[in-house]
Amino acid sequence: MKELEKLLDRIIQRNNINLRELEYDVNPFVKDLVRFNQMVKFYAFYGITPNHPLDFVFRHSSLAGSYFLGKIRTRNSILYKSDIRGDELKHQGDVFNYQKFEIPITRDEGIDIEDSFLIKTLVHNFSHDPETLEKFFIKDTVSTHYANIHGSPMDGCFLGPFATVDLTTMNDCVIGTFSYIQAGEVGHLNVDPGTVWVRSPDVFNFLYRHPLDKLNHYINFIAGRLPQGFLMDFVEDRKEAFQRVFNAVNIEASVPVPDSASLDRFAVIKPKTRIGENVLVAQRAFLQNAWLGKGANAQENCYIINSRLEGLNVTAHGAKIIEADLGKNIFVGFNSFLRGRVDSRLTIGQESIVMPHTIIDVKMPLTIPPGHLVWGLITNQQQLEANSVSLKDFSKINDGLIKGNMAFEGNGAAFVTAFQERIHHILEANGAFFDGKKNIGHAQKNQNLSFNTIQPYPDGELQGLYPAIVIQP
Amino acid sequence: MSDFRVKELMVPLSEYATVPKGSTLFEAVLALEKAQEEFDHTKYKHRGVLILDKKKRVIGKLGQLDVLRALEPKEKNPGELSQFSQFGFSSNFVHKIHKQRRMKAAPLKDLCSKASKLKVEDFMQTPSEGEFIDQEASLEMAIMQLVTGHHISLLVTREKEIIGILRMTDAFAAVFHTMKECEI
């Protein structure tokens, strides 16, 4: 296992070199975060489908429990129980529109992971960087539990647990626990935990800070310890159900799945779940007594429990919905945690937008009216009023709004439109609008997916590392 | 430019307002007032107070701006406002946030009452490397340090001991004097 230990030291060193300006040392946070014997235990697996490229090159890497789809390279990297989902990469011949430029794509885009350590991280979407359209790179980077790297090439970054970087090229940054960044391009930033930042330069700028004393109850991360808090306990409590799914070779769907829907065999489906037409359930999703209406989706690391989603709902990567009733066309952003109680349900009116990394945790019934924008930490009616605005009123903002811990500058209508267009695009990509012939998306394309497994050296100096593997059609 | 040496222009430490570490802001302001009253007897006007440790060594400077800073409403999360610029908010917007928070803060009288009880060491400026100058240094050297470091005063040393303070106004007076001599 010596080689694996050396590899981890090398990655940490490279990450620290990139972060030297911020005087950030990742070593005490990362060194013992995953035990080496864990990295030997799990197989890696990849998807085969006629709808996506099959092009993998793995060199000098540990891939324990990780999943790959599309065109992916790894070199000198450790990927632990991570999902590298290349089903939205650009194809040769596509045209990428950026500002006034129409940029032709000269070859199929690939995800390129080098000198990086990703723990239970989701990598998805495509590179939005106009300077590197054919390569979605992740280099000299360390990301920790349940982080999302979504359409965001990065070099020399550290992502805390439940951090999300979305549609942003990032260099030499530290992104704190449970922080969400969508800002186009950033460098040399140390972002505090619980920061939610959405910026389109010269158009709008949204910033919210979770109160740290309250956030710590849900998630906190200090050097030398595993991430702690309710969110970690919540996923740990359901870990066993996933182990059963991963240990079984063949799994039959335990609920009826319409022809137009897709239920991944690595999702956990508990009783009383109902899958509607055009529904997409991704791997590592957890459904229990979940009613998913037409065109709803549950992406990676989503948990939907004792809840009803009427249809065309986006439950983005890592979002959790418990004891809740959601109307149609509701967006629940990345890593949000929405929890009602058995006798105190959470109700969200149609066409509302729950910002990424929102926590709604109520012990009394709470209703969010239709067409509202919701953010932050909400545990009662008073906090809902402090942390929400109707989309209609938000669209009227011309210069700025300061409300509690939230600051918004710029054009409210542009912000709302950008979100609505993106939600529509996600639904489109997921196949929510499939009519039997047109608008085919992931829910239809991912139905015929086969999985192969690959294994590391079981013993010796190379224990835990995978041999160089090239997989092509 | 001139033959002025720093030691000829500085205010000797013995004539400068000082308070020991652990003093309150109010005590520092009283010390400053006392030094101002003595202005009639000396040629120096005082705008700051030096903070001394138990061995009478200078450990910090407290200027008028530092006292005013103590009156600013406390941020719930320290450094939060300064971080708004880092996140790309315009200076106008940051000013608006300042204004909004100032409106919500306690009246100035209450802030003054609270601030006067605070300790000087929480607001003093610890001298940086470029803020020391040898007593034998020339006026030119002192001007260079004041300009490049954006300092309003320098601590004058003899070997390792601080023996005085050279204020921007002292350097300026010497420059003005030299200019007049040149004209004549």
3-state secondary structure A258-270: CCCCEECCCCEEC
> What pLDDT, on the 0 to 100 scale, is given for residue B15?
82
- Would you place residue B38 in the very low, low, confident or very high pLDDT band (cuts 50, 70, 90)? confident
Amino acid identity of A66? S
DSSP A242-255: HHHHHH-S----SS
Residues A211 and A242 in one domain: no
Whose CA is closest to A137, among A158, A116, A119, A121? A116
Query: Rounded to an integer, what distance in angstroms lies between the CA atom of residue B64 and that of residue B29?
Result: 9
* Residues in chain B, overall count: 184
Q: Strand A164-166 relative to strand A180-182: parallel, antiparallel, unpaired?
A: parallel
Is residue B45 packed enough to be buried (19+ CB in 10 Å), middle (13-18) or exposed (0-12)? exposed
Does any CB of chain A come closer than 8 Å to the CB of residue B79?
no
Cα R_g (chain A), whole angstroms: 21
| Full residue range of the structural domain in which residue B110 is found | 71-115
Residues of A in contact with B87 (CB under 8 A): 197, 199, 205, 207
Does any CB of chain A come closer than 8 Å to the CB of residue B42?
no
Query: Rounded to an integer, what distance in angstroms lies between the CA atom of residue A62 and that of residue A50?
Result: 27
Residue B1 counted as domain residue? no
Contact state of A212 with B77 under an 8 Å Cβ cutoff: yes
Residues B129 and B97 in one domain: no
Residue A133 counted as domain residue? yes
Q: Strand A44-48 relative to strand A67-69: parallel, antiparallel, unpaired?
A: parallel
Residues B60 and B127 in one domain: yes
Using 70 as the pLDDT threshold, list the residues of chain A that sit under it: none
Residues B98 and B147 in one domain: no
- ipTM of the modeled complex: 0.85
Residues A154 and A252 in one domain: no
Residue B41 counted as domain residue? yes
Cα R_g (chain B), whole angstroms: 19
Residues B93 and B124 in one domain: no
Secondary structure (3-state) at A186: strand
Contact state of A402 with B96 under an 8 Å Cβ cutoff: yes
Residue A230 counted as domain residue? no
Tokens of B19: 């308070």
Detail the DSSP E strand segments found in A49-141.
55-59, 67-69, 71-75, 78-80, 83-85, 95-98, 101-104, 110-114, 117-119, 122-124, 135-139
Binding-site residues on chain A for chain B (CB distance < 8 A): 183, 189, 192, 197, 199, 201, 205, 207, 209, 212, 399-400, 402, 407, 409
Query: Rounded to an integer, what distance in angstroms lies between the CA atom of residue A446 and that of residue A431?
Result: 10
Query: Rounded to an integer, what distance in angstroms lies between the CA atom of residue A191 and that of residue A179?
Result: 8
| Residue B40, pLDDT above cutoff 70 | no
Interface of B with A in 90-119 (CB under 8 A): 90, 93, 96-97, 100
Cβ atoms of B132 and B157 closer than 8 Å: yes
Q: Which one has a higher pLDDT value, B129 or A194?
A: A194
Residues B106 and B21 in one domain: no
Residues B79 and B63 in one domain: no
Residues A200 and A86 in one domain: yes
Does any CB of chain A come closer than 8 Å to the CB of residue B86?
yes
Whose CA is closest to A235, among A315, A320, A309? A320
Residues A348 and A440 in one domain: yes
Residues of A in contact with B88 (CB under 8 A): 183, 199, 201, 205
Query: Rounded to an integer, what distance in angstroms lies between the CA atom of residue B101 and that of residue B110?
Result: 16
Report CA-CA distances (Å) from B109 to B71, B106, B116.
Answer: 10, 8, 11
CA distance A402 to chain B (A): 8
Residues A131 and A158 in one domain: yes
Amino acid identity of A444? Q
The H or E element containing residue B113 is helix B108-115
State the total domains in chain B.
2
| Residue B77, pLDDT above cutoff 70 | no
| Residue B39, pLDDT above cutoff 70 | no
Whose CA is closest to A75, among A42, A116, A20, A16? A116
Cβ atoms of A316 and A124 closer than 8 Å: no
The partner residue sitting opposite A205, judged by closest CB among B77, B89, B97, is B89
Query: Rounded to an integer, what distance in angstroms lies between the CA atom of residue A15 and that of residue A66?
Result: 21
Region B44-57: what's the mean pLDDT?
83
Q: Strand B58-63 relative to strand B48-52: parallel, antiparallel, unpaired?
A: antiparallel
pLDDT mean across residues, chain B? 84
Handedness of CA B6, B11, B17, B18 (dihedral sign): positive
Residues B129 and B58 in one domain: yes
The partner residue sitting opposite A407, judged by closest CB among B77, B86, B89, is B89
Residues B132 and B110 in one domain: no
| Residue B45, pLDDT above cutoff 80 | no
Residues A427 and A461 in one domain: no
Residues A328 and A408 in one domain: yes
Contact state of B100 with A197 under an 8 Å Cβ cutoff: no
Cβ atoms of A145 and A162 closer than 8 Å: yes
Query: Rounded to an integer, what distance in angstroms lies between the CA atom of residue A412 and that of residue B178?
Result: 60
Tokens of A20: 């030297």
Residues A307 and A386 in one domain: yes
Residue B132 counted as domain residue? yes
CA distance A201 to chain B (A): 8
Residues of A in contact with B94 (CB under 8 A): none
Contact state of A207 with B80 under an 8 Å Cβ cutoff: no
Region B123-150: what's the mean pLDDT?
91
**Which CATH number is B169's domain given?**
3.10.580.10
Mutate to test the interface with A, among B77, B84, B86, B93 (most CBs of A within 10 A): B93
Mutate to test the interface with B, among A175, A202, A205 (most CBs of B within 10 A): A205
Residue B168 counted as domain residue? yes
How many contacts does A have with B, using Cβ atoms within 8 A?
Answer: 30
Residue B127 counted as domain residue? yes
Contact state of B97 with A402 under an 8 Å Cβ cutoff: yes
Is residue B132 packed enough to be buried (19+ CB in 10 Å), middle (13-18) or exposed (0-12)? middle
Residues A347 and A206 in one domain: no
CA distance B54 to chain A (A): 34
Residue B129 counted as domain residue? yes
Q: Which one has a higher pLDDT value, B70 or A131?
A: A131
Secondary structure (3-state) at A323: coil
| Full residue range of the structural domain in which residue A426 is found | 238-445
Residue B57 counted as domain residue? yes
Handedness of CA B87, B90, B95, B96 (dihedral sign): negative
State the total domains in chain A.
2
Residue A232 counted as domain residue? no
What is the tally of helices (H) and strands (E) in chain A?
10, 47
Reported as a single tens digit per residue, the pLDDT across B162-184 is 898 998 988 998 888 888 888 76
Region B141-156: what's the mean pLDDT?
92
> What pLDDT, on the 0 to 100 scale, is given for residue B103?
77
Predicted TM-score (pTM) of the model is 0.83
Residue A460 counted as domain residue? yes
Cβ atoms of B25 and B60 closer than 8 Å: no
> Which residues, 6 or more positions from A177, have their beta carbon under 8 angstroms from its beta carbon?
A160, A161, A162, A163, A193, A194, A215, A219, A220, A221, A227
Residues A131 and A83 in one domain: yes
Mutate to test the interface with A, among B77, B80, B89 (most CBs of A within 10 A): B89
Residues B128 and B158 in one domain: yes
Residues B24 and B59 in one domain: yes
Residues B160 and B95 in one domain: no
Query: Rounded to an integer, what distance in angstroms lies between the CA atom of residue A136 and that of residue A151?
Result: 8
The partner residue sitting opposite B87, judged by closest CB among A205, A212, A402, is A205
The partner residue sitting opposite A207, judged by closest CB among B87, B96, B100, is B87
Residues A415 and A460 in one domain: no
**Which CATH number is A420's domain given?**
2.160.10.10
CA distance B128 to chain A (A): 20
| Residue B79, pLDDT above cutoff 60 | no
Residues A437 and A453 in one domain: no
Residue A228 counted as domain residue? no
Residues of A in contact with B80 (CB under 8 A): 209
Residues B92 and B149 in one domain: no
Please state, for a pLDDT cut of 90, what percent of chain B lies above it. Answer: 29
